[in-house]
Chain A
């Protein structure tokens, strides 16, 4: 059971907008630690998608955006494309500086 809670799955049709939530607590996200998001395409290593709550590394399309509020964070994907079908993970820290990963969300493009 992950300390950071994500929905196991989300889905959307091409062109639609989907959001993935990441819920923590006052001892991790709510304590001010940044949230980062990773995309894992089938059979590949995870790739940094969003860092520092809302920043995109170079090369990541602006269809991907992140936000954080209180004890939660969200990843939004607009203009959904077939190539976005992947597993998505949020990550943060707790007060002992242990790394926390969410349980992952499988995105299905219908």
Chain B
């Protein structure tokens, strides 16, 4: 059974850097075709894809946020870390990580973690 869980601060100040960790079980990020993605959802708004890292360390970023994002993996710890710099109140959202494979794409998802950006 695949499970994922996001962790990190619930409150960050404007201009700070956000670091989120996705800890997963039930699969290996060294398996061909597998990836982990980050997606966020501002309150009452739509899903927005942020970043995706693949088993071979290929990394993809949202073009509109690429300059602020870094995604890394630690295969031995079953973790994926997302950092987002220069946080702003508009970045207030629930942040999800999700397992991705080449057949079913994103599924399952973690429960999400709400991050509020406020001074």
Contact = CB atoms under 8 A, between A and B. Distances in A.
Contacts of A91: 105-106
A110 interface: no
Is chain B's interface secondary structure helix, strand, loop, or mixed overall?
Answer: strand
B53 interface: no
Interface in A40-71: 40, 45-48, 51-52, 55, 57
A101 B49 CA distance: 7
Contacts of B112: 45
Interface stretch (A9-17, A21-29, A92-100): A92-100
Contact of A57 (B46, B98, B107): B107
In the complex, which range does the number of interface residues on chain B fall in?
A: 20 to 34
Nearest to B54: A97
B39 A48 contact: no
B109 to A, nearest CB: 4
Interface of A: 2, 34, 36, 38, 40, 45-48, 51-52, 55, 57, 89, 91, 96-104
